[in-house]
Amino acid sequence: MSESSDSETVTALPVAGGRQTWQTVWALSRGRRLVFLSVTVLGVASAAVGLVTPAVIGGLVDRIHTGAATSSTVGIALVALILAAFLGALGTAATVVLAARAYHAMLADLRESLVEQAMSVPQNVIERAGTGDLISRTSDDVSQIADAAPQIIPTFTTVVFTIIVTFAGLTALDPWYGLIVVAVLPVYVFTLRWYLAIGPRVYRSERAAMSRRAQQITESQRGYDTVVGLGLTRQRHDTVVNTSWEVVEHSLRARTVQNMFFGRLNLAEYLGLAVLLVIGFILIGDGSSTIGATTTAMLLFLRLFGPINQLLIVVDTLQSVLASLSRMIGVLTIPQSGSPHTCRPSEPRPADGLARPAHEDTALCERTVRLEGVMFSYDGREPALSDIDLDIETGEHIAVIGASGAGKSTLAAVIAGIHSPDSGRLVCPRGTALVTQEMHVFAGTLRENLTLANPEAGDEKLRAALVSAGAEGLVDLLPEGLDTEVGAGGRILTPAQSQQLALARIMVLDPELVILDEAAAEAGSAQAGLLDQAAAETLRGRTGMVIAHRLSQASVCDRIIVMEGGRIVETGTPDQLREAGGVYARLWSAWVEAQAFTPGAGPHISRNSHRPR
């Protein structure tokens, strides 16, 4: 089960509990456990070599005290110290390298799983939580774990072994020396318990504040035109500043807790040294120990200061890492689909490489699209789709029209698998592709943009797809042809070229069902005819669904669906709907009138377009 942080809202993405986090870490370690066993063996051996230095110095002190020391004794001691330092450093380096490779391999696997899951999480879940939360988890939290590696890996691969072996060495000298660690242990235990009771909550709050800041920054960037157009610059600036100050406040609280933690550690050190000096004085006084043995014990105890402090300081870092790790694993706990619908795989198509929608996990073959009583709501209260019953036969092309907010894009997203119906049944081909008006050109070459989901496609197929999309001249315009860098950091394509690229990408994928959600809406009237032809070519030989904003697109389809308020209110062929005298007929009459005044023009379907004039 997952649990949410106290500081996060009920709509935030889930945070994994401690048990689930460790189960995931254990699963990630599969195939690397032999490496971790080698790390343990090397770590213990390296720590044992570290006992040589205090023992040699203690023995040398006793020899000097008794007058038995010679130049050869000092030389042998020096050689032993150098050899011990070399072997210890070599063993520690090998331990850290092995542990680091396994650690980063596990982190890479987790990061890949996180990205894969994030791409398949229902969009409405992300929208309710805010994209900033997901961005923070895939960026800030990943960076937090990766940046902590240089501190965590050496500590847990060497320090733990050093503490264990040093305690054993102290006890071997005299059990009373071993009790020194026991004497200071309660201070460390109480310090750690105090910190663990406060630290995790503080760090979770800090991470959540970072998510809120990321959300506000992301919204301001994405809605830049709206912010400027409505004069909201100052308001957005103040909002970002306020969320940034929230991060500062939580960070200051975290650093305060950290400083209080370090103060308690210093107290344990002073107490341990005092106890050791008293015990050494008593043992030497009654002849139970020697000055050299006490010197060795003192050096061993001083040798513990660094490791123990490092370990507990890393516990501080580890709390932040675990907070980030739990947030990352929390994304993996989000179910991809939980609704009673089906996306049935069809017969295999050669090298389609298409990314499958989230609702494909079924077994029966079917090429048609079938919706039965489908309901969907973004917020769980107001329905965006109500009682949708719709069949689209194989090879049929339908157009969906309606006013803004009628539910057209929501219907497309549900069929494409972006949203999961709240109820009802959905059956669709496994190979389904959605093209929206928000075309994205990825940073990379033109070839990489075309082969995103079909890496095996050759240049001949890529050029044929561009020709079908009406972009045959695009390759010639680019200085390096298909190898030209486009998108961010490369050649910026025009809106029309971006839409042609998106349509060509679909042809390279070769899906069975293509959904065009106003895919030519942003290109402008100059390219509208060209893009309509490209869209028609994209639909050729495939089942197609067109969310139309121009009646020229709808009128060439086999069937037209008219939506209002999330419901289907009319359906039929273009001729049938024109004769019916309903919403479509009024839109058609308005379009014909517009063409009479402006040849080639046609009204866009707006919120009031269906009202009688």
For residue 300, which amino acid is it?
Answer: L
For the beta carbon of residue 284, count every other beta carbon within 10 angstroms.
Answer: 14
Which two tokens mark 333?
Answer: 């706990």
Gap between the Cα atoms of 447 and 485, Å rounded: 9
Predicted pLDDT at 526: 56
Predicted pLDDT at 596: 65
The SS3 call for residue 53 is helix
Phi-psi region of 304 (alpha: psi -120 to 50; beta: other; left: phi over 0): alpha
Gap between the Cα atoms of 545 and 400, Å rounded: 7
Which residues lie closer than 8 Å to 301 by C-beta, 6 or more apart?
170, 177, 180, 272, 273, 276
Could you state, in chain order, the average pLDDT of each consecutive group of 10 residues for the chain (613 residues)? 38 80 86 84 79 75 72 81 84 84 86 82 70 78 80 73 78 79 78 80 82 82 76 85 89 84 77 79 79 79 73 74 85 65 40 37 56 87 90 92 87 86 86 80 85 84 87 79 82 83 88 82 60 83 86 85 92 91 86 66 45 33
Which two tokens mark 225?
Answer: 């035109």
Which residues lie closer than 8 Å to 67 by C-beta, 6 or more apart?
none
Three-point CA angle 502, 503, 508, nearest 5°: 95
Question: Which ranges in 290-399 belong to alpha helices (H)?
Answer: 291-332
Give the class (CATH, top level) of 2-332. Answer: mainly alpha
Which two tokens mark 257?
Answer: 């807790």
Q: pTM of the predicted model, to two decimals?
A: 0.55
CB 387 within 8 A of CB 373: yes
- Among candidate residues 92, 52, 47, the one with its CA nearest the CA of residue 76: 52
CB 543 within 8 A of CB 396: yes
- Residue corresponding to tokens 């394509």: 493
φ, ψ of residue 235 in degrees (nearest 5):
-60, -45
Dihedral angle sign, alpha carbons of residues 303, 309, 312, 313: negative
Predicted pLDDT at 397: 93
- Residue corresponding to tokens 């318990």: 193
- Residue corresponding to tokens 């500081």: 7
Helices 291-332 and 140-154: angle between axes, nearest 10 degrees: 160
Gap between the Cα atoms of 47 and 84, Å rounded: 10
Classify residue 148 by its DSSP letter: H
Gap between the Cα atoms of 599 and 310, Å rounded: 78
* Torsion angle of C-alpha atoms 104, 108, 113, 119, degrees rounded to 10: 140
For the chain, what is the radius of gyration of the CA atoms?
A: 34
Gap between the Cα atoms of 110 and 539, Å rounded: 38
Gap between the Cα atoms of 366 and 427, Å rounded: 8
CB 197 within 8 A of CB 208: no
- Residue corresponding to tokens 């107290």: 267
Predicted pLDDT at 367: 67
Which two tokens mark 52?
Answer: 């040589």
* Torsion angle of C-alpha atoms 563, 569, 572, 578, degrees rounded to 10: -90
CB 511 within 8 A of CB 354: yes
φ, ψ of residue 181 in degrees (nearest 5):
-60, -40
Which two tokens mark 207?
Answer: 């991470």
Q: Residues for the chain: how many in total?
A: 613
Gap between the Cα atoms of 95 and 285, Å rounded: 42
- Among candidate residues 272, 251, 265, the one with its CA nearest the CA of residue 312: 265
| Stretch(es) of the chain classified as CATH 3.40.50.300 | 369-597
Which two tokens mark 445?
Answer: 């070459």
Q: How far is CA 297 from the centre of its chain?
A: 49
CB 116 within 8 A of CB 50: no
For the beta carbon of residue 501, count every other beta carbon within 10 angstroms.
Answer: 24
| Stretch(es) of the chain classified as CATH 1.20.1560.10 | 2-332
Predicted pLDDT at 609: 41
CATH architecture of structural domain 369-597: 3-Layer(aba) Sandwich (3.40)
Which residues lie closer than 8 Å to 82 by C-beta, 6 or more apart?
none
- Among candidate residues 510, 513, 369, 359, the one with its CA nearest the CA of residue 427: 369
Greatest Cα pair distance in the chain: 120
